């Protein structure tokens, strides 16, 4: 199969139509199509289906969703306008509860909307703020990438899980941003992408975007990771994050398994994330883990894999204690244990 071209950033504001454009990630790697999204309902649908996904991209989607609600509102009175935008904002933020960036992006643009003296000014400010978020996201990822280079030795084989790449952000990526920056700096790198069941973000998305960049990538079944570590075939583990509380890193289900195995085999386990993913005011126990529908696990490729009589649990994320994390790479530098994320006690 020929590797398709990426037509544009993962998510962007379309000034012509006054709406959002995003790559529909459910179609990759077979097709790369862009959705023109003109309503909040369509955006919520796209976020729930994971057409647009990944923590930083969700942050931008949240901000742009509030801008969309503001632009589409016909209210002329400030109070009615605010009620409408706030209702839309709450609906967007509730779509996926674990990734803190979604509510962070929603709240950032909503705060600007609330400051505006009238609906017309609010619409203008909301769009500018949302567009600025997308631009900042790109710059932030580039800084994360550059800060992470020091952790990637020449010749490294890097195991990653899910997709923390350009498709999970506006461009470049967090964990894959580090891979890209290291490759650009001349390091020879090989990536082992865990397929990431049940929705295969590793196989479909990570392998797709790295192949396009000419970065060596091999997809493995998730269950192969521990054995490859035991055989000395993995130099380091590098993943993204959906939320980092004062005590744990929340990321795609399966991440904790890699962290435990990495510690057992003396392999560094790194997390790359923007500061907008930090949530030091929360602890692991207070975070809702998204549980998704049965069909994502019980069916695949048009076939039923699980008998109707059996129950299915489809947890979308897990939590890895910070004690298993060797370093957190942010846009402001590399954090090492004990972590001072702003919570009460260093972990």
Active site (catalytic) residues: 242
Q: What is the DSSP string of 302-330?
A: TEE-S-TTS----B-EEEEEGGG-SEEEE
Closer by beta carbon to ligand MRU, 123 or else 197: 197
- Which residues, 197 to 226, sit near ligand MRU by CB under 6 A? 201
Site string for ligand MRU, 103-142 (x = CB under 6 A): ----------------------------------------
CB of 242 to ligand MRU, least distance (A): 5
Binds ligand MRU by CB under 6 A, chosen from 19, 62, 198, 240: 240
Size of the site for ligand MRU (CB under 6 A): 18
CB of 17 to ligand MRU, least distance (A): 25
Note whether 244 binds ligand MRU by CB under 6 A.
no
Alpha-carbon distance values, 191 to 10, 67, 148, 152 (Å): 22, 37, 15, 12
Four-point Cα dihedral 56, 156, 214, 148, nearest 10 = 30
Binds ligand MRU by CB under 6 A, chosen from 108, 180, 252, 258: 252
Q: Specify the residue for token string 């590793």.
A: 202
Q: Are residues 64 and 39 in contact, defined by beta-carbon separation less than 8 angstroms?
A: no
Listed residue (3, 1, 5) closest to 23, CA to CA: 5
Note whether 242 binds ligand MRU by CB under 6 A.
yes
Binds ligand MRU by CB under 6 A, chosen from 126, 168, 192, 347: 168
Q: Classify burial at 342, counting beta carbons within 10 Å of its beta carbon; exposed 0-12, middle 13-18, buried 19 or more.
A: exposed
CB of 36 to ligand MRU, least distance (A): 21
Closer by beta carbon to ligand MRU, 201 or else 245: 201
| From 6-14, 16-24, 161-169, 223-231, span contacting ligand MRU (CB under 6 A) | 161-169
CB of 186 to ligand MRU, least distance (A): 24
Kindly provide the residue ranges of all beta strands, DSSP E only, lying in the chain, ordered along the sequence. 11-14, 19-23, 34-37, 156-160, 189-194, 216-220, 236-239, 243-245, 248-252, 269-272, 278-279, 299-300, 303-304, 317-321, 327-330, 333-335
Which phi and psi angles does 35 have, rounded to 5°?
Answer: -95, 130
Listed residue (265, 277, 211, 289) closest to 239, CA to CA: 277
Question: Encoding tokens for residue 48?
Answer: 């729930």
- Which residues, 309 to 338, sit near ligand MRU by CB under 6 A? 316
CB of 319 to ligand MRU, least distance (A): 12
Binding site for ligand MRU (CB under 6 A): 50, 53-56, 99, 162, 164, 168-169, 174, 201, 240-242, 251-252, 316
């Amino acid at each position: 199969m020929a590797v398709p071209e990426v037509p544009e950033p993962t998510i962007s504001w379309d000034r012509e139509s006054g709406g959002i454009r995003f790559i529909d990630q459910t179609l990759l790697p077979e097709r790369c199509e862009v959705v023109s999204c003109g309503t909040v309902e369509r955006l919520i649908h796209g976020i729930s289906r994971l057409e647009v996904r990944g923590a930083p991209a969700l942050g931008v989607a949240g901000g742009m969703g509030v801008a969309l609600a503001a632009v589409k509102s016909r209210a002329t009175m400030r109070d009615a306008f605010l009620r409408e935008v706030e209702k839309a904002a709450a609906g967007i933020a509730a779509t996926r509860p674990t990734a803190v960036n979604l509510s962070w992006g929603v709240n950032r643009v909503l705060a600007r909307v609330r400051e505006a003296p009238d609906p017309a000014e609010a619409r203008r400010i909301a769009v500018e703020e949302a567009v600025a978020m997308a631009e900042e996201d790109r710059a932030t990822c580039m800084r994360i990438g550059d800060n992470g280079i020091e952790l990637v030795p020449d010749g490294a084989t890097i195991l990653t899980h899910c997709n923390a790449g350009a498709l999970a952000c506006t461009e470049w990526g967090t964990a894959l941003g580090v891979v890209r920056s290291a490759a650009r700096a001349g390091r020879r790198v090989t990536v082992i992408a865990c397929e990431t069941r049940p929705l295969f973000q590793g196989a479909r998305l990570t392998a797709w975007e790295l192949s396009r960049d000419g970065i060596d990538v091999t997809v493995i079944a998730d269950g192969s990771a521990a054995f490859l570590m035991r055989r000395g075939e993995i130099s380091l583990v590098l993943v993204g994050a959906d939320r980092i509380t004062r005590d744990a890193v929340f990321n795609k289900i399966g991440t904790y398994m890699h962290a435990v195995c990495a510690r057992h085999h003396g392999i560094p386990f790194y997390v790359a994330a923007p500061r907008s993913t930090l949530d030091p005011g929360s602890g692991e126990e207070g975070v809702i883990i998204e549980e998704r529908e049965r069909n994502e696990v019980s069916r695949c490729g048009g076939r039923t894999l699980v008998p109707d009589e059996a129950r299915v649990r489809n947890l979308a994320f897990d939590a890895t204690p910070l004690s298993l994390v060797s370093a957190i790479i942010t846009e402001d530098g590399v954090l090492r244990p004990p972590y001072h994320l702003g919570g009460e006690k260093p972990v």
